[in-house]
Amino acid sequence: MHIPDGYLSPATCAVLYGAALPFWAVAAKKVGKLMRARMVPLIALFSAFAFALQMFNVPLPGGTTGHAVGGTLLALVLGPWGAVVGLSVVFLLQALFFGDGGITAYGANVFNMAIVLPLVGYGLYRYLITILPGKQVIAAAIASYFAMNLAALLVALELGLQPLLFHAADGTPLYAPYALKLALPAVMVPHLLVAGLVEALVTGMVLAFLLRAKMPLGVMPQPRPLKLRWLWAGLGLVALLTPIGLMASGTAWGEWGAEDLQEMLGFVPQGLERLGSIWRAPIPDYSFPGIGPVAGYIASAIVAVGAFALISFLVLRLSRRKG
């Protein structure tokens, strides 16, 4: 569901950046209080988990691939606004360093997967536990399934409306080339049948583990910092296992490069070609030059986990200086 550069018009990108801004403002204010509660390491840890989780590609109907996002899970563990911040940082790192999602499309990716997905998933979970008392895991799985598919629906609409809204005088699309009648089934069917179920399964399994471990859910001020060393160790194991995601062949629908589109369509939309090369990520596709794909995938996951640990350390140091 990561939209690359060039698939959305500049106007669409600007609208979705604007839509994300008020949510970022509220989330920054809410999470600012959490720094004093020493919960930043927890946000960093689960954000790193979401990053690694998204490297586990699964095969989807139609020969494409997809992955879980972890949006509802993060909202349950970190609180909805903590999830907005954590996932926004995840997508920023992915776009800047790994070329997974675009720079111009960053606002869209955040709006779909870091705002709508966790906030809707959290709200639906809160409702479901009122009608399914004692069934937290089931409620979380159902909520994450629907939130994941809602995010996918937004992606399909954003991509599918581009040919209708932005095209040359002869009707040739300038950005995403597939109309709604193609984009909607191409995005939604795989998510309804597979990706949404994977999101629900991961959310349910991790939540069940955390409940069994009696870990507090929702970031609340704690009298003492949580001891997270075992969770960091588990995250390291997840990073080592990320090459499993390479077993799924094919690419995600709508994330093709210009060369792929040239081969499939016989042309590259002008706007897509112009914006598609606006940013060259230093570690594209989670691959380091000079080493194999498996080692590169592991190295990428370790770099990302280290980046989140470093961010956590720096934020804590800054917050302590401010008292």
Which helix (H) or strand (E) covers residue 58, if one does? strand 58-59
pLDDT of res. 19? 98
- Positions in the chain whose pLDDT score sits under 70: 34-38, 219-227, 322-323
Rounded to the nearest angstrom, the gap between the alpha carbon of residue 275 and the centroid of all alpha carbons in its chain is 22
Instruction: Give the SS3 label for residue 300.
Output: helix
The pTM score is 0.93
How far is 166 from 182, CA to CA, in rounded Å?
Answer: 17
Q: For residue 288, what is the DSSP state?
A: -
Cβ neighbours around 285 below 10 Å, total: 13
Query: Crossing angle for the helix pair 136-160 and 180-190, nearest 10 degrees?
Result: 160
> What are the distances in angstroms from CA 49 to CA 8, 33, 56, 255?
28, 23, 11, 23
Q: What are phi and psi of 173, to 5 degrees?
A: -65, 145
Question: Do the beta carbons of residue 8 and residue 176 sit within 8 Å?
Answer: yes
Question: Do the beta carbons of residue 168 and residue 187 sit within 8 Å?
Answer: no
pLDDT of res. 119? 98
Rounded to the nearest angstrom, the gap between the alpha carbon of residue 319 and the centroid of all alpha carbons in its chain is 27
Measured over the CA atoms of residue 67, residue 125, residue 50 and residue 114, the dihedral's sign is positive
